Structure 1
Amino acid sequence: MTKQTALQTLIGLAQDDVDAATQRLGRVQRERVEIEKQLKALIDYRDEYHARFTESARTGMAAGNVRNFQAFIDTLDTAIDQQRRMLEQATQRVEAAKPDWQRSQQKLGSYEVLQSRQDDVQALKDARREQRDADEHAARVLRMRSTHS
């Protein structure tokens, strides 16, 4: 079993941070998309309701029905305004989550670069040791041949 180095531990922790930041960013992005869908649905409903009302008003309509229509349109407009504010807030949450995610990605990347450099140094040491061992073995074989000749 390979002993885990301090750098590998840091990489693991940084990966956990990236995963958590990715989940947070994904969650706020999904929330924003849902809010945006709801806003679109409200606007579409208002437009359809207004078009139907306009069509029925052409044939004449009682004053009470006009007041009811206007009150309902006002209610829809209020709901649309509230939904727009919610969309702005959701967009702000997404924008606030992005730097956290980017920082965690950069931190992980930095640790991975350090690990790669460390691996390169170790590979060079291993190659030198193998070369030295091969040289020593060749020298021993040569000495043995010269003593036996």
Structure 2
Amino acid sequence: MNNGTLAHLTEQAEQARTQAAKVLADDRNNTQKIEQQLKVLKDYRNEYAQQLQLQLMAGMKPSMLSTYRSFLVSLDNAILQAQQTLAQHQQKVSSSQQTWRDKQQRWQSFDLLQTRQQQQIRQRAERREQNLTDELSMASYLRQQKKA
């Protein structure tokens, strides 16, 4: 594989890795937002349930009790839905993380190949330079031998 092709493949692998990292970051951010929303819902539900307890102790009309209970059921449904959404996003993060790992490994493989190829090119150039130096030294030595 020539140097240009390998460099191109390495560059493409790096771009794919960068894109996968962006997707992973977005997925993590979305998951954090959903976690925060779920926490807010749970906190609100707890506060509302406490208010209901206080109202019950103070004496409450049956119509108000029904309203409180139906609202608590609505909050419970919203919490359940948020938990399901959170679970889906957590799976998405896991999937994105695996995709990023795969892209990272692919990029590392190409980068390693490119590094090895560049080392081989340098070694060949050094050998050619050493051979040329040796030939010049030998020619100089032979010329000096002829003069003597």
Distance 2:138 2:119 in 1: 28
**1:28 match:** 27
Matching of residue 110 in structure 1 with residue 90 in structure 2: no
Cα contact 2:13–2:107 (8 A) shared by 1? yes
**1:41 match:** 40
Distance 1:105 1:120 in 2: 22
1:16 is displaced (CA, Å) by 0.8
Distance 1:17 1:76 in 2: 41
Distance 2:119 2:3 in 1: 17
Matching of residue 18 in structure 1 with residue 3 in structure 2: no
Distance 2:94 2:120 in 1: 40
Instruction: Map residues 1-149 of structure 1 onto 2, 5 A cutoff.
Output: 5-149=4-148
1:143 is displaced (CA, Å) by 2.7
TM-score normalised by L of structure 2: 0.91
TM-score normalised by L of structure 1: 0.90
Number of equivalences: 147
Distance 2:86 2:115 in 1: 43
Q: Which moved more, 1:119-128 or 1:79-88?
A: 119-128
> Which amino acid in the other structure matches residue 81 of structure 2?
Q
Output one character per residue of 1:75-111: Cα deviation in whole Å (capped at 9) or x when no partner: 1011111111111111121122222212111111111
Unmatched 5+ residue regions in structure 2? none
Distance 2:51 2:131 in 1: 90
Percent identity (aligned):
29
Distance 1:14 1:131 in 2: 36
1:4 is displaced (CA, Å) by 6.1
Distance 1:4 1:123 in 2: 13
1:140 is displaced (CA, Å) by 2.5
